[in-house]
Every structure is written in structure tokens, then in C-alpha cells.
Amino acid sequence: MLAGITGCSNSAGGGKAGAAPNQSNPTPSLPTRNLGPLQVTALGFGAMNVVPGYYGPGVSRADAITLIRQVFDSGVRFIDTAQVYGPFLSEEYVGEATAPFRNEVVIASKFGFNLTPGADVTGTGGLDSRRETMISSVDASLKRLRTDRIDLLYQHRVDPKVPIEDVAGTVQDLIKQGKVGHFGLSQAGEATIRRAHKVLPVAAVQNEYSYWTRDPEIEVLAVCEELGIGFVPWSPLGMGYLTGKSTTPIEELDPKKDLRASAKFPRWTKEAIAANRPLVDVLARVGERRGATPGQVSLAWLLHKKPFIVPIPGTSKIDHMKENTAAINLKLTDSDIQELESEFKRLGVTGKNAPPDFLTSHDIGSYIGSNSRGTHGNSPLPSR
Ligand SMILES: NC(=O)c1ccc[n+]([C@@H]2O[C@H](COP(=O)([O-])OP(=O)(O)OC[C@H]3O[C@@H](n4cnc5c(N)ncnc54)[C@H](OP(=O)(O)O)[C@@H]3O)[C@@H](O)[C@H]2O)c1
């Protein structure tokens, strides 16, 4: 088991760049949870931040591989990547890093964007879940991941041009061919989840969810619970804001290297960063009582919400990864949870979680308090 809230005692530590994990002293894996029929460690690792363009310049290939191997050494056995991260680079790093222990980790990846050079990947314009694109995309991902199967394959964004039943059917064929283990949806709404699940059981839904982004509480968590689907929150640390350490506003970030700046994420303006600080103060206050950081409280809060929730914090730094992984040991009390919830209600959030052109590609009630119609409103919810 892991020890200590602030760090992990069982990391192989140090290690030269790209060193393979310590096979003579294998690290016990973290406790597990189920995403539908798929068993994974209760915390995963998001491999998006090692590549440039999201939250800064990323890291070198050697450092990314060292980091991912340390993730394994820290007991995490669930790694999240996507074709679009880089594009392609993140899958390459994950493939090289996990090759020595491929059968001991669950790898999740995603398809769904048109990645031909110059294609726009924002809004719904860049979405592409046509059968032929899916098939070629999966074949290419398998090569980069150096594996014969993707354990969990998500549709990255619901494509309003392709019925979700067709997408599920194509994934079913890929499962029959042994190229894919399980089916997932990302940023999907209730109606879409229900329709997909009728054709092929969905193992996991990966939507944005964190202390300051509550949309899944409107209906997606309930449908996952009802249908036995796991839920994987992306940006569980609020893109770093909820750690209390990421405070650089978009006005000062380099738009060439940082998506929050280039796409003008509303919660990352100078004004919103200052206005939302009391939310971090609540996390810090609860954390102080438990010897934990605000980021660890954010992750423990998610783990406490439902037993089928598996957060995938992302980082480019080994010490941050260890801090995040150690959150598995933090148990919040009922009064901690009550305080977190009542303070969130009282304080509210300044700014939407994403800019308008990103929100149009979210097949959910992306606007707090709204309903999900699924498939961008083209798929009415069944009457209740
Ligand atoms: N399905 C989707 O559409 C979708 C969308 C976005 C992300 N994802 C997946 O979800 C994963 C996580 O989401 P995310 O990366 O957007 O957001 P996140 O995990 O909420 O936060 C990542 C940010 O927090 C910082 N950070 C992480 N741990 C920290 C710590 N202990 N102390 C201080 N700062 C810390 C990172 O910077 P440092 O590198 O400096 O630590 C990075 O800037 C991604 O890696 C990706 O796999 C999926």
C-alpha cells in the first residue's frame, strides 16, 4: 500500500531517463475500481500534459518516458492518452514507456478528430467519427502504442454527423477483431450514452468533472450509475487551478504554447483567477485539517462521490504525479464533504469552464443548470 498523504514511499525514485521499472522489486498497484467490466486502479494518469500546446511546452521524450515509468512505479496502472494529444506524440511516449510492462497496465486512447494537416480541431467542424476514419485511426494508434489492443477506446467527442449507433457498431467490430477491449464515450450526454449502450455496453464515460465543474451531476452520473458504466473525470484538478499553484492568467501565458491562452478559457482571465480563489481556500482549509494539499482534496472529493469514479490527473512533473497519487490515502469525513459542498454552493464559480467554440463540441449540459439533450439537441431524451 502507499504510505503518507503528501508523497508515495514505494516509488522506485530517481532513475535515469527512460529507465525501465524496478522489476526485481515490483510496486504493488493502487486499490482498484471498476469501469463497467474493466478493472483499473482507482486513480489513473493523464498523459496529455507531457506534450506541448495544452498547458505549456510539455517535456522531452526522455522525460515523458521517465515520468510514465514512475507512474507505474507509484502503483498507477491506468494511463489515458489520445490520438489528438501532440497530435500523436502522447501515444508514442505511452507506447515506448509501457512496452516493458504492457500487460500490467490498462491503456485508454481516443479517436474522433480530423487530424489531416491544417484541419480545425475546435468546435464540431473538426470532428470525424466516420467508420473508415475510426478504423484507420485505431490501426495507427496501435502502432504508436506498440501494442495489439487498446484496452479502452473512447470516442473523443460526439460527432453530430454520425449516428452514435454506427460508432458503437464500428467499435463492436474492432472488439471482435481483438483490437479494442472496451468502449468509452467522452464529453457525452445522457441521451447519447443511452443510445450507444443499447448497441454496445459502454464501459466508461470520460467527461470534465471537478470541484468547480459540476455538469455531470445534472444527469450523466445518474445514467452511469443506472447502467453500470464507470465515470472518468477529466481535468479533475481544474486544469491545475484547484491545486492553488496554477495562478498565471491567460494575459501572461504564451498563446503559442498554452491552450488556455490561445482559446481564451474564461476561468483563466486575471479577473476569474482572483474571483475563484475562495474555492481553492476552501480546499486548502479542509486539506490543512487532514495534512493534505488542495489538489489532493479535489481528487479525494471525486473519489468520495461515487465508487465508479476514477480520476485521471495529468502532469508533466514527477513530484506533482506523486502528490496526486498519494491522494488515494486521503479519506474525507462527512463534515469535510458537507463543508466542501455548502461552500461551493455559497461561493459559485466565475466564468464558464470552456470558451463557446469548445462548448459547442460538448454533447452535454455544458452550461451549469441546463439539461443534456444529447447529440447536440438532435436526440430527445426519453420521457420520464
Ligand atoms: N476527454 C477529454 O476531452 C479530455 C480533455 C482534457 C483532458 N483529458 C485527460 O484528462 C487528463 C487530466 O486533465 P487535465 O490535464 O486537463 O487537467 P488536470 O489534471 O485537472 O490538471 C493538469 C494541470 O495541473 C497541473 N498539476 C497537476 N498536478 C499538480 C500538482 N500536484 N501541483 C500543481 N500543479 C499540478 C499540471 O501542471 P504540471 O505539468 O506543471 O504539473 C497541469 O497544468 C489529461 O491528461 C488527459 O489525459 C481528457
DSSP letter string over 120-145? --STTTTB---HHHHHHHHHHHHHHH
Q: Digits of tens for pLDDT over the chain (384 positions)?
A: 223 354 433 332 333 344 555 555 557 899 999 999 999 999 999 999 999 999 999 999 999 999 999 999 999 999 999 999 999 999 999 999 999 999 999 999 999 998 877 766 555 668 899 999 999 999 999 999 999 999 999 999 988 888 899 999 999 999 999 999 999 999 998 888 988 999 999 999 999 999 999 989 988 999 999 999 999 999 999 999 999 999 999 999 999 999 999 999 999 999 999 999 999 999 999 999 999 999 999 999 999 999 999 999 999 999 999 999 999 999 999 999 999 999 999 999 999 999 988 887 777 643 333 444 544 444 444 443
Residue 207 bridge partners (DSSP): 233
The domain made up of 32-359 has a fold known as TIM Barrel (3.20.20)
Q: Whose CA is nearest to atom 48 of ligand 1?
A: 234
| Domain ranges (residues) in the chain | 32-359
Cis bond before residue 87 (omega within 30° of 0):
yes
Taking CB atoms within 8 Å and a gap of at least 24, the contacts of 288-294 are 289/336, 290/5, 290/330, 290/332, 290/336, 291/5, 291/6, 292/5, 292/6, 292/327, 292/330, 293/6, 293/243, 293/244, 293/323, 294/242, 294/243, 294/244
The whole model's pTM is what? 0.92
Task: Say if residues 216 and 231 touch (Cβ distance below 8 Å).
Answer: yes
Residue 287, C-alpha cell as written in the block: 486539506
* The pairing of beta strand 45-46 with beta strand 150-155: unpaired
From the CA of 135, how far away is ligand 1's center (Å)? 28
Q: Of the listed 85, 93, 211, 241, which one is catalytic?
A: 85
From the CA of 42, how far away is ligand 1's center (Å)? 17
241 is catalytic: no
Q: Whose CA is nearest to atom 15 of ligand 1?
A: 314
Residues within a 6 A CB radius of ligand 1: 46-49, 55, 80, 156, 186-187, 206, 234-240, 243, 245-246, 295, 312-317, 320, 323-324
From the CA of 381, how far away is ligand 1's center (Å)? 32
